[in-house]
Structure 1
């Protein structure tokens, strides 16, 4: 993090400030990876004695008759906070598509009310989403990011997008890789059949079609393994595809799993696979490292900032089901290779992706935000 040094009095004032409020599409329960991250942050902050409030800006999914009133409700909550807790920091999470449209409204309200606010960019390809918008909408988006007190990026690619495309002052950008709570040391596995897990929305972007082709590959059919593909999306469609590929006896698709069920699944797994075509920084990859799983993924988004090929995980080319099958077959058939990646990956997680370190970086961010002058209500 690159931020101005604070005086002792500024730090004391910042630490005594009112709690942070996060604005998340879908909240912690229905916000996908963003919601899960914010849920982890709120839980860890609560254990550390600091409250992080969470406000849903959309509802379970976008549906105008219910989502628009929820967005209006979020603005009213922000306005109330400006009166009863004027020092509160508003941490606004934004992605592309409809999320950006809603956050244009919410950040306009934050500027009008004079609220201290941070924008946190989560997206698998924000530059492409931005390029598809009208010139007028691009101007509004640039203004939104440029007027935030600080902007958080998931990795260096998104940092470059913020500087070069959106014109954000690089001194107000913080790179914060996603993180997950530490599930504790990995228990010894005694099962003879390795378990492969996929965590995320079942979709083409996540590479689920390539994954099914890889699992049905001749090299995999000769080996003993099971797989669980856990996530929402068109689950029934992918179940039918798996059945057509004669995978139904080996592959389970339980749908979206909550935090506890995800943790239980990872505790009995051996390999985490995520052959995505595009990502920011996938929570699933960090979950895999935390649980000491052998991680197989692609060089997209900020994954190269989390995985070192052959040391803490394996990379395969995007869209290459043959290479994916070969990587999975190698890990399924070689317990020592799995053990090596497991140990190195978990050690890497403990050094770089712990919740404690993440919360400390957030506290430094919030201290820097709190030291900024607040605008008056109604200021442009």
Structure 2
């Protein structure tokens, strides 16, 4: 049985997040097609202006109707705020068209968004989750929260892929006489724990550790340079900008360790990339980190908003290169065992086949 899937998510030049997930799925088309799954993509635009809102209603919705007419299953990749509202409108169109649907939540902040929303938004969210034929998310903690609305159907956990890093060759550890650097990759924001990381690095440098912090990602760089200066580490923080391809892999591979002290995290593609590059990880005890990182084995997990605990975890790896090497090797093994792209695609295929099989048996 061939099954045609329409993947619905961000496009129009957007970077990172769900856009990265969709690009990874597109790269695996051949494996999907060998299993009889044929995927296509519908890109949505952001609601950053009245013009964008009008374009969504006048252009995107009619184009979506045509694209969905050729699909058996419509797979919605959802985050909070604008992403949720856009996908919900298209979800209603799909229901009216009799299409089978997938609600795929990528946001580690969706529970807070839900709890802080008005009554109507909460009702829309519950409807989306309950009425979808299949619910998927990217980590176990989020799945447990979603399960309350899926009384008779399991919420599926499908991790993300890191194709480029998966096929890289992990670099050897830094030489002892080289200044080690801590790698951070992600959006430059408080939500990613960047200020906590600055405080931890400042604490370590005051205690005599000769280290650097290198940051890959986009955001208000000038603001974060001022914050680094306020913490007394302006000469220790290097902003690399947005990195792709070999430059990104070299960034991970040259690091002593990878750190992402997020205040919330759905999955953590950057964390998985660092693991495939053989680097130990220091993260926070929440979201996708709980699936990715084995605390004390492939890295360390600390409580969010705790720069002191973060500094101590970083110190253990900075002071002990051999421990960092062993933990990096353990992380690589876990990434290869649990998060290879072929395994992730197989899980997608199984979900799609189950949805299609349910459809065949119905009148």
What TM-score, normalized by structure 1, do the two folds share? 0.85
**Whose RCO is larger (CA < 8 A, sep 6+)?**
1
Structure 2 CA distance for aligned equivalents of residues 43 and 247 of structure 1: 40
Instruction: Give 3-state SS (helix, strand or coil) of 2:7's partner.
Output: strand
In the alignment, structure 1 residue 146 sits paired with structure 2 residue 130: yes
- Cα distance, 1:333 vs structure 2: 2.3
Structure 1 contact 199–274 (Cα < 8 Å) conserved: yes
In the alignment, structure 1 residue 231 sits paired with structure 2 residue 213: no
Q: Unaligned 5+ residue runs, structure 1? A: 1-12, 375-380
Structure 1 contact 90–116 (Cα < 8 Å) conserved: yes
Structure 1 CA distance for aligned equivalents of residues 238 and 53 of structure 2: 33
Q: Which residue of 2 aligns with 1:7?
A: none
Q: Which residue of 2 aligns with 1:354?
A: 340
Instruction: Give 3-state SS (helix, strand or coil) of 1:108's partner.
Output: helix
In the alignment, structure 1 residue 174 sits paired with structure 2 residue 160: no
Structure 2 CA distance for aligned equivalents of residues 330 and 114 of structure 1: 56
In the alignment, structure 1 residue 287 sits paired with structure 2 residue 279: no
Structure 1 CA distance for aligned equivalents of residues 358 and 59 of structure 2: 27
In the alignment, structure 1 residue 315 sits paired with structure 2 residue 297: no
In the alignment, structure 1 residue 54 sits paired with structure 2 residue 36: no
Deviations 1:79-110 (A, max 9, x none): 21344x243x3211111122211122110111
Q: Unaligned 5+ residue runs, structure 2? A: none
Structure 1 contact 178–283 (Cα < 8 Å) conserved: yes
* The one of 148, 169, 175 aligned to 1:185: 169
- Shift of the 291–362 alpha-carbon distance from structure 1 to 2, 3 Å rule, reads same
In the alignment, structure 1 residue 244 sits paired with structure 2 residue 230: yes
Instruction: Give 3-state SS (helix, strand or coil) of 2:266's partner.
Output: coil
- Cα distance, 1:168 vs structure 2: 2.3
CA-based RMSD of the aligned residues comes to 2.4
* The one of 192, 204, 219 aligned to 1:206: 192
Structure 2 contact 218–241 (Cα < 8 Å) conserved: yes
Instruction: Give 3-state SS (helix, strand or coil) of 2:135's partner.
Output: strand
| Range moving further from structure 2, 110-119 or 180-189 | 180-189
Deviations 1:217-273 (A, max 9, x none): 155662232221112222210011113333232211233333443223113222110
- Shift of the 195–268 alpha-carbon distance from structure 1 to 2, 3 Å rule, reads same
Structure 1 CA distance for aligned equivalents of residues 23 and 292 of structure 2: 21
